[in-house]
Amino acid sequence: MKKRLVVQGRLSDAQLATLNDLFDVSVLPKTTALNDPDNHALLAEVHGIIGSGLAITPQLLDAAPNLEVIATISVGYDNLPVEELTKRGIMLCNTPDVLTETTADTGFTLVMATARRVVELAEWVKAGKWQASIGPALFGSDVHGKTLGMIGFGRIGQAVARRGALGFGMKVRYSNASPKPALEQELGAVRCELDELLAASDFVCVTVPLTADTERLIGAQQFALMQSSAIFINIARGKVVDESALINALENGVIQAAGLDVFEQEPLPASSPLLNMPNVVALPHIGSATHETRDAMAQRAVDNVRLALQGKRPISLVNEEVNQ
């Protein structure tokens, strides 16, 4: 008898066909709450769940006594109860690696867009305001040769730094829990304490995961250490930053500009002051949002759940102790 699998996310027809060949698959709309009472009969028999933005609660886990694996179509899993899953012997899989370069593209897009005021000036042109050559009031800032400070130097942070160092001759500083001697040699990167990085960097880019230690890592004190000409980039998680402190820093000229792909509340509320600031480039959390990368992420999740339910080790297992 085939194992039961629930899919709640965007998979291609080919990916669904692969799963249907191996498992008894139920596809739920993303708008459907997994823990809806109407789904309890299904959950009682399910062995695997695959999807994005999954709402996994203890109550849902109680309703799914046969659950073996959850495969999230994302790298981040701060919204999932890892300790509870581990305690119950349920594997949690994510999708690192496949989105590194695409997310780094997004990060460096924000560097360029904020420095050269691309969005602001494009809207200015569309509004018919370009009547003569622009003056200093509309000039941007150079990117090449500047100092790029990376808060976090994992896969994505390193990929952003490579773009800066190798493509734009930027000087790279990084704040990280452990030294990266190979990257220091390759990129000329210098490891330093966070306060030193903030004071020395023209661009500060955040790529750390959201944990208890990194929540609100960047607040009023950290913005005060930055240069008034500095540009702040966040492609990590919105809650890594005290958003009210960021707004205050932008409104009062503590820093020059910000490029943001993530926010404390998503979607960003229409009442947010960030939406009315010309020195802010705000994106709708598109770090990995390309056709190629989202398909690769979905494929990794498919491979993870397939291997797990076949009694093999998944490719990307978060809670390794479950598989030991």
Active site residue 251: no
Cα–Cα nearest to 263, from 274, 279, 252, 250: 274
Within 10 Å of residue 180's Cβ, how many Cβ atoms? Answer: 18
DSSP state of 232: E
Active site residue 321: no
Contacts for 292 with CB less than 8 Å, ≥ 6 apart: 102
Active site residue 266: yes
d(CA 110, CA 11): 29
d(CA 15, CA 18): 5
307: which 2 tokens?
Answer: 């291997």
CB distance 86 to 321 below 8 Å: yes
Cα–Cα nearest to 194, from 184, 179, 181, 204: 204
> Exactly one of 84, 123, 251, 266 is catalytic; which is it?
266
Beta bridge partners of 181: none
Count, in order, helices (H) and strands (E) of the chain.
13, 12
How many angstroms separate the Cα of 144 from the Cα of each of 6, 139, 203, 315? Answer: 48, 15, 11, 38
> Exactly one of 237, 294, 300, 306 is catalytic; which is it?
237
CB distance 176 to 153 below 8 Å: yes
Active site residues: 237, 266, 285
